[in-house]
Amino acid sequence: MSASLEKGINALKQVIDAPIASYFSSCVHCGLCADACLFYTETGDPKYTPIHKLEPLRRVYEQEYTLLGRLKKVVGLSKPVTDDELDQWQELVYDSCTMCGRCSMVCPVGNDIVYMVRKFREGMAASGHVPDGIKGATKRTVEIGGPMGLKWPAVANVIRKAEEATGFAIPVDKEGADYLVLLSSMEIVNFPEYLEALAKIFNKAGISFTLASDAFEATNAGIQIGNSDIAKVIVSRIVDAAEKLKVKNVLSPECGHAYMAIRWEGPNLIGRPFTFNVVHVLELLDNLRQKGVLKMKGTFKDPLILHDPCQIVRRGGVLNAPEPLIRQVAENYIPIVDKQKWNWCCGGGGGASAIHTDEAEALRAKVFGIKKRQIEEAGVKTVVTFCANCRIVMEEAIDHYEMDTQLLGLTELLAEHLED
Amino acid sequence: MHGPLIDTLTRQGVTRRTFLKYCATLASMMALPPGAGRAMAEAMAAARRPSVIWLPFQECTGCTESITRSHSPTLEGMIFDMISLDYQETLMAAAGHQAEEALHAAMKENAGKYLLIVDGSIPLDMDGAYSCIGGRSNLEILKEAAEGAAAIVAMGSCAAFGGIPKANPNPTGAVSVSDIIKDKPIVNIPGCPPIPVVMTGVLAHYLTFGSLPELDDKGRPKAFFGETIHDRCYRRPFYDQGKFAKTFDDEGARMGWCLFELGCKGPVTYNACATVKWNGGTSWPVESGHGCLGCSEPDFWDAGGFYKALSVPADPLEISAAAAVVGAGAGVAVSFANRAKKGAAKSAHETTTLADLEK
Amino acid sequence: MNELQFLTWVRGPGLDIAVGIFLLGVVWRLFEIYTLGRKKDLAAPRHAAGASGLHTVFRRSIPPPGGVKRSPVSYIGGYTFHIGLAIVVFGFAPHILLVKNLTGLSWPGLPSQFVDLAAVITMAAMVVVLVDRINKPVKRFLSTFGDWFAWAVTFLPVLTGWLAVQHLLLPYTTMLALHILSVEILLIVLPFTKLFHAFTLFGSRWYNGKVNGQRGVPV
């Protein structure tokens, strides 16, 4: 029970660097970032303007790291950031920001706003201003093993069921495998077909793989809260297991933030480069497709659109794998206008989907309007995506709007149509 | 040389018709209404020539040279005959005590009615000892002469604004007439020197109407100083087209392009050179290929150099290099402070555990 | 002080002070910002064509898809006045002379009537973006005193310069002196206001492009 404003400000002082200084010095209040943020476009409320979500961070930067800012603080022209303000900003930084990164793409002076939001969260976490929902997920991940409180026996159960369904062995704790497979709790609980799909594909391709009994969880709520210390604890489990099992690659599942956590933040959290590669499952699948290993025995006929999860595509860099894969398995894939790195967020990333207050849920439903319009304009009843969180969030919204739309996972879809 | 002007003119073989034409020209140059030319002619013809006293102070005699450097046989010269020039050191025959007597006699006889013309600036330092005539300082002489004057004409930039003696560092403490005399009507006719017809035009106006012409905020007659050289310059189309001579001898110079880049002060100078020209309308500085010096403006000697265009700095920048170094110093100092602060923040970091997420 | 002395002062000591403070401020602020440094990214980079800091420095000048449609005034007005300012500042012969005097560099100027047109269009565009800042909820919400002030110190030089050339409002000598003075004010405040984006936008775009380029995303 020791979060405090002082700790929060200290955390902010630590994370402020030249990019952040450059960004705050360049902002000309043009407001174009708001045009890219679904929380603004769907509500019309200017408080959701992305750069505004960072106002306390800007003040800390100015007052601590600029000469004029320090003088202003001394003479009282600039007020120090208060605990109250951070409290007010909690809604802006967590409920209405999914760290989707669209704002960083459009800022004319080049500000990387999502970079700053991630760092701002370090201060929010250290000062105790984190939504309960995400706190809960983090607690469960640290103490039990995953955000939903899943323990290994439950996972082992799912593995056994998958082995039975597919007829293939799914190794656990095997040394020297090509791939260490990670799973997200969401998949284990809601979409166990994903593991079955993996088993089929790996066997077809002749790739050796394993799971780790002490590091099966891919998601990292520490990243979502924005606390690097906790995120490090969580990611270290995977690194330790991968190094202990001497695997060549770690396979990141269809979960957005999991990929960001292990592929991009991981080495920086533990302070050294990895000794293994990190591969997203779609990268692996596209690789296999290019080698001609992924042969389809039929195709999916219904017209569909692709939803590109923010953390995998725009923020993760897996730009080119998804489309060829969907084209491989679907006859009627309709590319939408804002696709790939320009895609609109599902509204539930960054930990937002874990916030279960009435206001947060109402907001998420409202901002789904943009995806709803994309689906309606394309005139389709099927949306394919490759992030379990996006799937859940969108399924909830589709329910809310009583839409007749089905959500499918890409890996699952591929596996279903895979030639035996 | 007394008696009405018209007699003098007739004696010199100038017809009434020529005289009328001259007055009409002069009137139109001064933008006076049509009838003024005739009024001028009548007034001047009948005028009893007023006394004019010309006092030279810290001057180069250029103004005197200019006013006499009008074409000959001169119409300006006739105006000269129109007045009773009772004291003018360069032109008068007398010298020494005789000259002094003539001066005091004229002042006494015409007290309150004579026109006082002054050229040259008035030094104030060393109690005015820098410039004395007959053992008396210019300052003293001016004050005495101004008392009985009906009006004062400050002839030339020195008398009007201080001129070259006043230029930096002003070693004699030179000032203008209007800096000293505050209680008499003063007309400034600046120029270094002024254009001859400008000088005589003002006198003609005074003779005709008994008053000084309309003056601008610097006491200059608007008729001659109401517009800038730039606005009347025949090379203006080249300025507008962006065609500039870059040296005195290049293609542009030979094509007669604008001299802005060679330092022409035309845009900020009020005078009549562009329309009236010099040497009886022969030419003027720009037409001869040299930029306007701005000689009818106050402090034109200190206006940043004759060959520096108006858009370039008047003086070389002196503090820039030092300022950049100071800036770098400040920046480095701040960067050290920043790094220290960041280091301190890092040291103060307490690893966050789950418990630390709660307040 | 009469108007020619005022003009001589702004051309002389005034310019010296303003350029001095400008250089001091720019160097100081650049140090202050960029010496904060950045931790090295330890993740294995993904190499993608066209994804780098340098690419983003240039590419970010292109509006994003759908951007102009959503906020036409911001983009069109913004481009118009920036380009207009560049034309007036760098294309007008007297300005080129100033640069030549200070640095030795020079280039051909544009015809004065073209610069005149550019100045008018620039001022019109600036007024339009000002009105938009007042009308649009997001911009109005974000705007502080600094925004209005920055607009004014940028607008005044264009206005006074144009008035001087047109011989409007005040006599030329005074108008020219006010123009030069307004530019000096702009120079002095530039490093300490949002106008400093003129220098930092390159660094900002570069960092953004680099971080995303590391991940293989061209931004």
> Which residue ranges make up each domain of chain A?
5-129, 134-288, 295-416
What is the per-residue pLDDT across A68-118, written as a single tens digit (0 to 9) for each?
999 999 999 999 999 999 999 999 999 999 999 999 999 999 999 999 999
SS3 content of chain A, % helix, strand, coil (to 5): 55, 10, 35
Confidence of residue A412 (pLDDT cuts 50, 70, 90): confident
CATH of domain A5-129: 1.10.1060
A→B contacts (Cβ < 8 Å), by residue, are 1-4, 7, 10-11, 13-14, 16, 64-67, 125-128, 130, 135, 138-139, 142-143, 225, 227, 229-230
Which run of H or E residues covers position A250? strand A249-252
Region B138-162: mean pLDDT is 94
CB contact under 8 Å between C15 and B314, yes or no, is: yes
Q: Which of A126-130, A146-150, B156-160 has the lowest mean pLDDT?
A: A146-150
**What CATH number is given for B5-225 in this structure?**
3.40.50.700
List, for residues B274-289, the tens digit of each pLDDT value: 998 988 889 999 999 9
Q: Enumerate the residues of chain A whose CB falls inside 8 A of the CB of residue C194.
A: 25, 27-29
* Cα atoms found within 13 Å of the Cα of residue C208, Cβ hemisphere only: 34
Mean residue pLDDT of chain B comes to 86
CB of A129 less than 8 A from some CB of C: no
The residues that bridge with B187 in the sheet, in sequence order, are B153
pLDDT of res. B348: 86
What confidence score (pLDDT) does residue B206 get? 81
Q: Residue A372: pLDDT band by 50, 70, 90 thresholds?
A: very high
Interface confidence (ipTM) of the complex: 0.96
**Phi then psi for B301, rounded to 5 degrees?**
-70, -30
DSSP B294-329: -TTSTTGGGSS-TTS-TTS-SS---SHHHHHHHHHH
- CB < 8 Å to B261, chain C: 93, 97
Contacts of C108 (CB under 8 A, 6+ apart): none
Lowest average pLDDT, out of A43-57, A164-178, B40-54, C34-48, goes to B40-54
Q: Where are the domains of chain B?
A: 5-225, 227-336
Angle at B96 between CA B90 and CA B102, to 5 degrees: 75
Nearest by CB to A128, which of B346, B348, B358?
B358
Query: Residue A15 above 90 pLDDT?
Result: yes
Q: Is A5-129's fold the same as A295-416's?
A: no
| Average confidence (pLDDT) over B215-222 | 93
Residue closest to A336 by CA, chosen among A289, A388, A382, A387 = A382
Q: What is the pLDDT of residues B301-356, one digit of tens each?
A: 988 889 988 888 888 888 888 898 899 999 899 989 999 988 888 888 888 888 78
CATH number of A134-288: 3.40.50.1860
Cβ contact C204–A109 (<8 Å): yes
Q: Out of 3.80.10.10, 4.10.480.10, 3.40.50.300, 1.10.3720.10, which CATH number does the structure's domain B227-336 have?
A: 4.10.480.10
B9, pLDDT greater than 90? no
Please give the single-letter amino acid code of residue C83.
Answer: I
Give the mean pLDDT of B51-61.
90
Do the beta carbons of residue B330 and residue C37 sit within 8 Å? no
C-alpha dist (Å) from residue A381 to A190, A309, A377, B41, C36: 21, 19, 11, 103, 51
Instruction: Report the CATH number of the A295-416 domain.
Output: 3.40.50.1860
Please choose, from the candidates A135, A138, A93, A121, the residue with its C-alpha nearest in 3D space to the C-alpha of residue A14. Answer: A121
Nearest-CB residue to B357 (from A10, A67, A125): A125
pLDDT of A378 > 90? The answer is yes
End-to-end alpha carbon distance in chain A = 56
Any CB–CB contact under 8 A between C47 and chain A? Answer: no
Residue B339 contacts A, CB cutoff 8 Å: no
**Predicted pLDDT at B48:** 65
Domains of chain C, CATH where assigned: 3-33+67-213 (1.20.950.20)
User: Chain B closest CA to C166's CA: distance in Å?
Assistant: 11
In chain C, residues with a C-beta closer than 8 Å to the C-beta of B328 are: 27-28, 31
Average pLDDT for residues C150-175, to the nearest whole number? 95
Instruction: Give the separation between CA B202 and CA B224, rounded to whole angstroms.
Output: 9
Closest-CA residue of A relative to C206 is A110
pTM of the shown model: 0.87
* CB burial string C121-137: b at 16+ within 10 A, e below: bbbebbebbbebbeebe
Q: How confident is the model at residue B76 (pLDDT cuts 50, 70, 90)?
A: low
pLDDT of B1 reads: 41
> In terms of C-beta density within 10 A (0-12 exposed, 13-18 middle, 19 or more buried), how is residue A348 classed?
buried
Could you tell me which residues come within 8 angstroms of residue A74 by beta carbon, excluding any fewer than 6 positions away? none
Q: Which chains touch A (3 or more CB pairs under 8 A)?
A: B, C
pLDDT at position C160 over 50: yes
Distance CA C169, CA C176 (A): 11
- Distance of alpha carbon A142 from alpha carbon A208, whole angstroms: 29
Query: Is A25 in Cβ contact with C33 (below 8 Å)?
Result: yes
Greater pLDDT, B76 or C219: C219
Residue B103 pLDDT level (bands cut at 50, 70, 90) = confident
Using pLDDT thresholds of 50, 70 and 90, give the confidence band for residue C153: very high
Chain C segment 71-130 residues within 8 A of A by beta carbon are 71, 74, 78
The answer to whether B96 faces chain C, any CB pair under 8 Å, is no
A window 351-410, beta carbon within 8 A of C? none
Higher pLDDT, B39 or A15: A15
